[in-house]
Amino acid sequence: MNQHALLATLAALVLLPAQAADMNKVLRVALNAPETGFDPAKVSDLYSSTVTENIFDPLVTYDYLARPAKLIPNTVSALPTISADGKVYTFRLRPGIHFATDPAFKGKKRELTAADYAYSIKRHLDPSIHSPWSFLVDGRFVGGNELVKAAGKGALNYDAPLAGIKVLDRYTLQLTLTATNFNYLPILAMPAFGAVAREVIEAHRDNTNAHPVGTGPYLLKEWKPGSRIVLEANPGFRKVVFNATPGNDPVDKAVVQALQGKTLPQLGRIEISVIEEEQPLWLSFLNRQLDVSGIPQAALQSALVIDPKNPLKVRLAEQYARQGIQLQRQLLPEVTFHFFNMQDPVVGGDSKDKIALRRAIAMSFPVSEAIASIRRGQAVPMNYIVPPGVAGHNPAFRGAPKFDPAAANALLDRFGYRVGSDGYRTRPDGKPLAIELACGTSALDKQWNEYWQKTFDTLKIRLGFRQGKWNELSKANHQGKLQMWGMAWGADYPDGENFMQLLYGRNAGDSNAADFKNADYDRLFEASLKLPHGSQRNQLYDAMNKIAVAQQPWIFGDIRMRSTLAHSYVKGLKLHPLLNTSWRYLDLQK
Amino acid sequence: MNPTPPLLSVRKLRVSFRDEHGHGAEAVKGISFDIPAGKTVALVGESGSGKSVTAMAITRLLPEHGCHIAADSEILFDGRNLLTASRRELRRLRGGDIAMVFQEPMSSLNPVYSVGEQIIETLMLHTRVGRKAAYQRAVALLKEVGLPTPDRKMSSYPHQLSGGQQQRVMIAMAIACEPKLLIADEPTTALDVTIQQQILQLLAGLQKKHGMAVLFISHDLELVGQFADEVVVMHHGSIHEHAPVQQIFEAPQDPYTKALLRCRPHLAQRPARLPVIKDFLGDSCYFEPPQRQRGYQADDRVILEVQGLCVDYHSRHGWFGGRHSQRAVDEVSFTLMRGRTLGIVGESGCGKSTLGLALMRLQQASVGRVLFEGEDMLALTPRQLRDYKRRIQIVFQNPYASLNPRFSVAQILTEPMLLHGIGCDAEERLQLAGDWLEHVGLPRKALAKYPHEFSGGQRQRIAIARCLTMHPEILICDESVSALDVSVQAQVLNLLQALQDELGLSYLFISHDLAVVKHLSDQVLVMQHGRCVELADADTLYAAPQHPYTRQLLDAIPQGWPHCIKPRVA
Amino acid sequence: MLAYIVRRVWQMVPTLFGVMLLLFVLFNWVGGDPSYILAGKNLSAEALAGIRQQLGLDLPLPQQFLIFMRQVLTLDFGTSWSTQQPVSALLHSRIGPSLLLTGSILLLGTVLAIAIAALVAYLRGSVTDRLVTLIATCAMSVSALVYIIAGQYWLAFKGGWFPIMGWSDSTLDNLLHYLPLPLLLGVIVGLAPDIRFYRSCFVEELGHDYVRTARAKGLSEPVIMLKHVLRNAMIPVVTSLMMSLPYLMMGAMLLETFFGIPGMGKEVVMAVERSDFPVIKAITIYIALATMLFNLLTDIVYKLIDPRVQLH
Amino acid sequence: MPHTSTTPPAAQHHHNSLTRIGWRRLRRDRIGFSALCIVGAYLLLALAAWSGLVASHWQDEVAHPYAPPTLFAGAAPHHVELNAADIDAADRRATSAAALDSSGATGLSASEDPLAADLAAAQQQSAQYRSTEQARADSLPLGADQRGRDVLQKLLQGSATSLQVGIAGALLALTIGTVLGALSGYFGGLLDDLLMWGYSVFTSVPDMLLLLAFAAVSGRGIGTVVLVMAFTSWTGTFRLMRAEFLKHKGREYVRAADAIGAGHGRRMFHHILPNVSHLLLVQFSMLTVALIKYEAILSFLGFGVGVTQVSWGAMLAEAPAELLQGYWWQMLAVTLCMSLLVTAFSLLSDSLRDALDPKVK
């Protein structure tokens, strides 16, 4: 399956800082939405992570070129040893890695140690920090619960010994999990688990978001919240030289040709603007005010020549190809879906008539038509809870019911949802049937809503829209006040567990937004946790998917194909499914 | 006889205004007259006679759109035809050789520049003087027109000056460049009588001193008589009579001139009925009516007694602003007898109108009692007051403002009846309204019309009819005839008199015009600065005024020729 | 004068209190719960409660209002709930671009509008007058949105005369490079209605008696227009300017979004979107204060223009 | 309550009330009258659209996506149309290819599906619900939008909605402003202080915030748009009406009404209100214009009408994305259509101001 996979070794030849970045090379990129800050324990949005990824170093990271994504050591000398029971992870740090300079270090060079990782991971447990990622660490480490309990609502006692997160020596970190888990390593590759220095955090206690000091290739030079972020190459960054052997993939060849033997990073400065509107984003890219950019939905038509018979087969439009603009594409490791509130008296419940109602709606929603029209074909229908590119995906599984509104209508008839005198269906008990769909307020939401309106019109069911800000809807859903809502879930780490847990009963009201509670599913999920990625676990996932398809708590949506453009002078670009950016690998040759 | 050509000759001047329909209405119908150098010519006529249009035509200040001067008209000034002069030439003449003084001094001065600046501007425009010299000259001019402390007044703004002072500034500005012709368009109409006399004296003096010609425009023949060498009487756009002043007063030829002279009440006479213009036109021969006796009689019954009435105006500025109060009426007491008229005279701002409003509780009184047949109106609850409100009514000064322009006459007249439950249904009320309309001398079919379709006099009749529908016992006439032309004023005064005779109404007649007050009143109350300075029987008061202020007021009444003004120049 | 200013400032207290009350009610009632944003994917009840406690949202409302009052008195609104940056620093960085943009639009727009309006009022009734009035009427009938979208597309992208968007730290660079297009569009959007309104002010002033006096003095029309009429017409002009300020913010918001200008308008929308109450509070209070101070300034300007105005 | 109609039968003689004179003046004003005709035409159109006579099928997908206007069919950018069947087919190809070399499950089998039997039966009974696909046009008079809806139909329906929103919002704002302004100006004193306080509070808070807040509390849709716009734009009318009532309450005709015993309510609304009605009419037409433009921006910000309705703002909100792709017709059509109405309304306001001004005799 991965014949083209190859290895790019990031050789740490000399552990002395070697500034290779050319400060005159400035990369200009844009974020589509405002970021919030740069404290890895406080931010969870994609846009902030995009930046923190370049400032902080997690223990392990992903190989730039290998597909599917492959974990490689980052600040450790080798991947950790994992005990046979899948509970104890032991990391061995490379000595000689230093934090970027900061006044908190009082002018001394500050080396990265195992204690820094212990501190950084413990911060996610700290009740006073309210880490958005605490669900990844809560109850996972031996002794963690007790320590958290002792802290109450105050700050965690970082100095108290914690069996689960142990610093064996200056460079050795040992994590002990409470339960078998062979898939914990990808979590530690997230930017949220990059190392911070305790001195820095304590020196800027009130404003850690604005003072990210890490060991990564870049440091924060300027921050105008919601508008502009400037990163500069970290002059103290350890020497990393790009070294890889390309396979057959032309993109890989180009990357290797551009980077082979070069010290990373090459770019001295990265200027990030926040551009929320599509028109200025697209026009700025075309005008070379941006070097790399996604293609806004509205520009897909003019930027890509799409084969109508096979819409995923595209090439760059002639006028752009002539300018040497590069096009790269990849399926995002995410799923979009609409869920039903399974505790709702109308759409929830597991009696057959309720399932029939949900199924009928699912059968009538024209996913493919919406993909054709809204996504311009640049998406595939979702058929499995775990998306492609994430461990545990089953490409052969067809989870979405066949689009057949006529049969859906007949199905509703069979279960007593009769069409009343006003032309709309009633519930089997004769009460009026009206369903409310929660949605956002953007133009894109509106396009989707038009399809929902159409769906419900064909089913002759009254539909209401409940528009609101995300947090309002989230709160309403939390209180069980919503009936239907659409969501997108992106992989935090490339493991199926990150997706399968979305329907786990114990996560109901939390990440299980549908409040789906199914004992079979829960049992299977708990069993899957103990297994490493492999066919054994895949069978469990298949069974769980079948339950989800049969019970229909979700209507499967689509999985987007990301198209990224870069001007001809941008070298070394290859999209990565899990790394948010490839800035440290890029070079500009104008 | 006069070999020198006139300074200004108006020849066959014809001015028409085009309204939005495109229909032309001729305002001046081919008039001709001369103004000899150094003489004063008065242009007299009622509103709409075309006198102001003539003045504006001379300086070409008529609006350029919608106004047309006939091609064969000529206005020769020093031999040049102003109607064909270039803009440039006109600008040189305006303010230089021909200066103007307007009716409303307040609005005619630019409110945002100091008076000094406005005079200096004229000086620097027409004479080649520096700013410093212009300043000196302006101070001298202000001194010449009799402004106290001219140095300080230079930096005053128009609103800081009184009306009389503003008009003095206008005059100073007009004479700044030694014009050959001064056109004064109703220069004293907006001023109090006492001020009016001062301004006239000033103008007369300046005219003598500078040897200017003056074109004096006024509606008041008596006023003009004191001042002019020649009088031109205009009516409906044409000249009715043009003669030396003596002839106009002693031997008026035109019936209209005669009527103008007789319609106005005179201090010396009190005819039972005032003559109106119609009496002099056509074949009808006018007979002098008998004189009427006035004064309270011993057997009169008191209808209204006012004791120590005070009214204060309160003003305040914002939530935390200071509160200011000003006494408008101060301790005024009087009695009104049933069927009689009490005249209240005073200059503007003396509190006479406030007094009227306070009696009706349209303005809150602070202290005092108003006894209506013994009942204190000021102490009544709003509910109790309702009935009294009907019995005491008021006719306001401005007939254009006191009728709701959106209501038809029928609505105006039936509304009070509706409110007071007079007449049992709409039809009956309409019938009654028509009756009253005929009573005040208007045709019944006027019910369907709207106020703007009537002349000022007719509107005042409607306002009177509105009061009458409620069968009031007391009628307060607040300057009710002041805004009317002389001829119309006589008609309305006659109507008021007739109604009093017929219905036994009691009048409280408020006016600044002493002659009118004398004509109608049995007793007269003179007010100054909110206080009553004199209260006496009408005849007594006019024959032997006790208070100096009363005497001053009486002196200021224009008497017409031959009471010529003695020029007084400071 | 000083006493007047002191009294006026004192009078702002109840208004400010009202603004605070309105704001507090609005955003406690409808403002959305920020804890759901801050919690990210971790929506457990404890996490939400913890965040609410940290933000002080679990305190009784009167106590929250008291805290708000203290913040207003000290003008210290703490830190943003979403980025945890000090609100004062945030506003400090936003105010410059906002002022540069709206200030220059206001200045250029007003000067141009007055000049053109004075010209057409002087030429009233002529073909030029009718043409300008008609163009202005038509121009103001097009939505600001269309101007911005079309302007960016054709003037910047197709025409290439301006950068698509952007903002720099150097004021000079902004003035020369980034500001011209948003400025142009902002002026175009505001110019037409202003011309129409100012023209009517001028024409109305021209009907006053003092203009007749000025003509009778022999002054030429341009002098009458520029010296006598202009100053008198400034009162309604200044009033409309003041009234247009709040609207400017909304217009500027679109400009800021499309041209990437880091100004206040964009910040408000972002803060509301994120239920970032401290930022909303701070911006509202500052704008309310600015509005009130500007009202005061307007009254003082009235006094400078028109000596009749009494400052009570 | 006594019958208050005081209109006499004689009024049938058509005497010249101010309204009638104003109307006559307006009729003579060529520009004003044409503007009135245009506004009238729009209103008729809107009425027709509301009543479903025209454009009731604006949601039908009658043409190919982005079908160009007929006149420009040759010059318009080419649109590659994708359809659901091809997407489906591509997806099916991919899954079946994967199924060949996979040991995993390929989906839910009938035995595992609780609804299998019912579904099979439903398939049999589904014939009555099958519909045939309509043929789609290649071009339309004003082109089509993304979903192939007729821009002309949308425009007609959008005009109706925008007019409805503008007029309803203006009426509401006018009502609030007039009632409060009348109370404030007429009574003065403490009530005035209170209302002025409210006014200054409202004007001190940026519109944008009020807007976002109101929009958040009242959901979405036409009602909200109207409410939001009214709540943020009543202040101008309030100021105007307060000043007018302050001025008019001292006028002699109002004092005369007081003298004849008319109560406060009667004086305010029977006497003064008709005399300021011309200002209200002008204010109304100006507000309508402003609100129609306001709606466009609200829609852009996502506070517009729902998906079952269309307004000019909703159409303009689609414009940026379309313009990027070269589909200019919807934006141009809306802009022209809106410009015409707004220009006509503006000219009408001017003419009304002149025609109804009681000072001009």
Count of CA atoms in the C-beta half-sphere (13 A) of A281: 25
Which pLDDT score, from 0 to 100, does residue A12 have? 44
Tens digits of per-residue pLDDT, A540-565? 999 999 999 999 999 999 999 989 99
Q: What is the mean pLDDT of residues C151-165?
A: 87
The domain spans of chain A are 33-222, 334-561
The pLDDT mean for chain A works out to 89
Which pLDDT score, from 0 to 100, does residue D4 have? 41
The Cα–Cα gap between B484 and D163 comes to: 50
State the best of C82, C94, C145 to mutate against chain A, taking most chain A CBs within 10 Å: C82
Touching partners of B (3+ C-beta pairs < 8 Å): C, D
Tens digits of per-residue pLDDT, A276-313? 888 889 999 999 999 999 998 888 888 888 888 888 88
Q: Which of D90, D107, D318 lies nearest to residue A310, judging by beta carbons?
A: D90
The domain spans of chain C are 1-74, 88-305
How many angstroms separate the CA of residue B499 from the nearest CA in chain C?
Answer: 41
Instruction: Look at residues B433, A87, A561 and name the one whose alpha carbon lies nearest to residue D8.
Output: B433
Write down the residue that tokens 């030439």 correspond to. B89
Which pLDDT score, from 0 to 100, does residue B389 have? 82
Inter-chain CB proximity B411 and D8 less than 8 Å: yes
| CATH class of the C88-305 domain in this structure | mainly alpha
Inter-chain CB proximity C307 and B320 less than 8 Å: no
Query: Closest residue of C to A278, CA-based?
Result: C258
Tokens of C112: 């141009």
Which pLDDT score, from 0 to 100, does residue A117 have? 95
Inter-chain CB proximity D297 and C150 less than 8 Å: no
Which pLDDT score, from 0 to 100, does residue D1 have? 37
Q: What is the mean pLDDT of residues D97-103?
A: 80
DSSP structural state of residue B326: E
Which pLDDT score, from 0 to 100, does residue C24 have? 87
Tens digits of per-residue pLDDT, D29-51? 888 899 999 999 999 998 998 88
Residues of C in contact with A132 (CB under 8 A): 38-42
Which pLDDT score, from 0 to 100, does residue B452 have? 83
Touching partners of A (3+ C-beta pairs < 8 Å): C, D
pLDDT band for A3, please (50, 70, 90 cuts): very low
The pLDDT mean for chain D works out to 84
Which pLDDT score, from 0 to 100, does residue A58 have? 95
Look at residue D259 and tell me whether its pLDDT is greater than 50: yes
Residues of D in contact with B319 (CB under 8 A): 193, 197
Inter-chain CB proximity B398 and D252 less than 8 Å: yes
Those residues whose C-beta lies under 8 Å from the C-beta of residue A518, and which sit 6 or more positions away, are A350, A503, A505, A547, A551
Q: What is the mean pLDDT of residues D74-84?
A: 80
Inter-chain CB proximity C275 and A226 less than 8 Å: no
Tokens of D291: 């609100």
The pLDDT mean for chain B works out to 86
Which pLDDT score, from 0 to 100, does residue B570 have? 36
Which pLDDT score, from 0 to 100, does residue D7 have? 41
Which pLDDT score, from 0 to 100, does residue B569 have? 40
Write down the residue that tokens 């309803």 correspond to. D168
pLDDT band for D12, please (50, 70, 90 cuts): very low
SS3 A8: strand
Q: What CATH fold (topology level) applies to the domain A334-561?
A: Dipeptide-binding Protein; domain 3 (3.10.105)
Tens digits of per-residue pLDDT, D180-211? 999 999 998 889 989 999 998 888 887 777 77
The amino acid sitting at A204 is H
Domain A33-222 has CATH 1.20.140.10: no
Touching partners of D (3+ C-beta pairs < 8 Å): A, B, C
The Cα–Cα gap between C275 and C265 comes to: 15
The domain spans of chain B are 98-176, 304-315+323-555
Inter-chain CB proximity C163 and A492 less than 8 Å: no
Query: Closest residue of D to C282, CA-based?
Result: D205
Look at residue A59 and tell me whether its pLDDT is greater than 80: yes
The pLDDT mean for chain C works out to 84
Which pLDDT score, from 0 to 100, does residue A100 have? 93
The Cα–Cα gap between A55 and A192 comes to: 11
Q: Chain D contact for C165, CB < 8 A?
A: no
Size of interface B-C (CB pairs under 8 A): 85
Inter-chain CB proximity C40 and A469 less than 8 Å: no
Q: Chain D contact for C214, CB < 8 A?
A: no
Tens digits of per-residue pLDDT, C175-200? 888 999 999 998 988 888 888 888 88
Q: What is the mean pLDDT of residues A35-59?
A: 91
| Chains A and B are touching, with contact defined as 3 or more CB–CB pairs separated by less than 8 Å | no
| Cα A587–chain centre separation | 26
pLDDT band for B21, please (50, 70, 90 cuts): low
Instruction: Look at residues B59, B55, B48 and name the one whose alpha carbon lies nearest to residue B184.
Output: B55
Which pLDDT score, from 0 to 100, does residue C97 have? 87
Inter-chain CB proximity D126 and A415 less than 8 Å: no
Taking only residues 508 to 527 of chain A, the set having a beta carbon closer than 8 angstroms to any beta carbon of chain C reads 509-511
Tokens of C20: 């605070």
Q: H helices then E strands: how many in chain A?
A: 17, 26
Q: What CATH fold (topology level) applies to the domain B304-315+323-555?
A: Rossmann fold (3.40.50)
How many angstroms separate the CA of residue C210 from the nearest CA in chain B?
Answer: 4
Instruction: Look at residues C33, C59, C61 and name the one whose alpha carbon lies nearest to residue C47.
Output: C33
Which pLDDT score, from 0 to 100, does residue D3 have? 45
Which pLDDT score, from 0 to 100, does residue A363 have? 94
State the best of A471, A497, A498 to mutate against chain C, taking most chain C CBs within 10 Å: A471
Selecting from 3.50.50.60, 1.10.3720.10, 3.10.580.10, 1.10.645.10, what CATH number does the domain D18-58+150-356 have? 1.10.3720.10
Tens digits of per-residue pLDDT, D265-290? 899 988 999 888 888 888 888 889 88
Instruction: Look at residues B214, B256, B204, B251 and name the one whose alpha carbon lies nearest to residue B235.
Output: B256
Residues of D in contact with A298 (CB under 8 A): 320-322, 324-325
Inter-chain CB proximity D205 and C22 less than 8 Å: yes
> Measuring CA to CA, how many Å separate D157 from each of A447, B22, D48, D298, D319?
18, 43, 9, 18, 17
How many angstroms separate the CA of residue C60 from the nearest CA in chain A?
Answer: 19
Look at residue A10 and tell me whether its pLDDT is greater than 80: no
Which pLDDT score, from 0 to 100, does residue A9 have? 47
Lowest pLDDT segment from A344-358, B536-550, C182-196, D216-230: D216-230
Which pLDDT score, from 0 to 100, does residue C197 have? 87
| Chains A and C are touching, with contact defined as 3 or more CB–CB pairs separated by less than 8 Å | yes
How many angstroms separate the CA of residue D210 from the nearest CA in chain B?
Answer: 26
Tens digits of per-residue pLDDT, C95-107? 888 888 888 888 8
Is-contact A38 A210, C-beta < 8 A? yes
Concatenating the DSSP letter of every residue in A168-189 gives EETTEEEEEBSS--TT-HHHHT
Question: Is the pTM above the cut of 0.90?
Answer: no
Look at residue D330 and tell me whether its pLDDT is greater than 80: yes
Inter-chain CB proximity C150 and D213 less than 8 Å: no
The amino acid sitting at D155 is L
Is-contact A51 C83, C-beta < 8 A? no
Q: Chain A contact for D94, CB < 8 A?
A: yes
Strand partners for B447: none
Lowest pLDDT segment from B100-109, B277-286, D143-152: B277-286
Which pLDDT score, from 0 to 100, does residue A13 have? 44
The domain spans of chain D are 18-58+150-356
Write down the residue that tokens 């009537």 correspond to. B454
Is-contact A300 A315, C-beta < 8 A? no
Which pLDDT score, from 0 to 100, does residue B568 have? 44
Look at residue B162 and tell me whether its pLDDT is greater than 60: yes
